[in-house]
Amino acid sequence: MNSILIVAYGNPLRSDDGVAWRVAEALEGKFPPQHVEILALHQLAPELADTASLFHSVFFVDAAPPGQTTDSTAGQLQIKEIRTQDIDPNQMTRFSHALTPRGVLALTQALYHSFPQAFSITITGQHFDHGESLSPSIVAALPDLIARIEQRIQESLSSGTRI
């Protein structure tokens, strides 16, 4: 079984919504490819459940508007573990065209009988309008964000038992 899957998702044509793609680009080549796989996606679709089932750990990296994070300051990072008990298929959104990380994990559990160690890494964005540029506050925070995410993944790689 592989070690770590990093799923960076968002829309790079919607300004800060694409910050996860920048993180993915920056992390490319920083870890041994046999241990860490990185995907950059626009949205989380059901087939990701299959991929997730092949890994010990999955990190979902995404951006969220200020109102949807605990710290509304642009450029803040929030890392949360997603546990089996957090998943309730009856509380899932009526799927339109994108799943949440919990939705992906619920499918992984239901269809592949597997539940990887999972974390959501959410970056508070500022602007989500059309555009390929990140807002200045996110650009300024990006090096530190990348370093912290890299460190967190490095910790998982070094931590042993599950990897």
Partner 1 sequence: MKQGNTIVIDPVTRIEGHSKITLHLNHDGRVEEARFHVTQFRGFEKLAEGRPFYEMPSLMARICGICPVSHLIASAKACDSLLAVKIPPTADKLRRIFGLAQVTQSHALSLFHLSSPDLLLGMDADPAKSNIFGVAEKNPALALDGIRLRQFGQKIIEQLGGKRIHPAWIVPGGVSEPLTEANRDAILWAIPDALAIAERTLEWFKSTMEGFREEISTFGNFPTMFMGIVKKDNGLTFYDGKLRIVDASGHVVADDLDPTQYYDYIGEKVEPWSYLKSSYYKPKGFPDGIYRVGPLARLNVADRCGTPRADQELAEFHELQRTAVLSSFHYHHARLIEILYCIERLEQLLNDPEILSKHVRAVARPNALEGVGAAEAPRGTLFHHYKIDEQGLIRWVNLIIATGQNNLAMNRSVLQVAKHFVQGKRLTPGMLNRVEAVIRCYDPCLSCSTHASGQMDLQIQLVSASGEILDEVVRR
Residue number, 3 or 109, with CB nearest to partner 1: 109
Residue number, 96 or 158, with CB nearest to partner 1: 96
The secondary structure element, H or E, covering residue 124 is strand 117-124
Q: Does 103 bind partner 1 (CB under 8 A)?
A: yes
CA distance 163 to 47: 23
CA distance 28 to 39: 10
Q: Name which position in 4, 7, 8, 10 contacts partner 1 (CB under 8 A).
A: 10
- Do the bridges between strand 55-64 and strand 2-9 make them parallel or antiparallel, or are there none, so unpaired? parallel
Q: Does 73 bind partner 1 (CB under 8 A)?
A: no
Q: Does 47 bind partner 1 (CB under 8 A)?
A: yes
Q: Name which position in 71, 78, 83, 98 contacts partner 1 (CB under 8 A).
A: 98
Q: Which residues contact 55 (CB under 8 A, 6 or more apart)?
A: 1, 2, 3, 4, 5, 37, 116
Q: Does 65 bind partner 1 (CB under 8 A)?
A: yes
Q: Does 43 bind partner 1 (CB under 8 A)?
A: yes
Q: Does 54 bind partner 1 (CB under 8 A)?
A: no
Task: Outline where the chain has alpha helix (H).
Answer: 19-27, 48-52, 101-112, 136-158
Binding site for partner 1 (CB under 8 A): 10-11, 13-14, 17, 41-43, 45-47, 49-50, 65, 68, 89-98, 103, 106-107, 110-111, 128
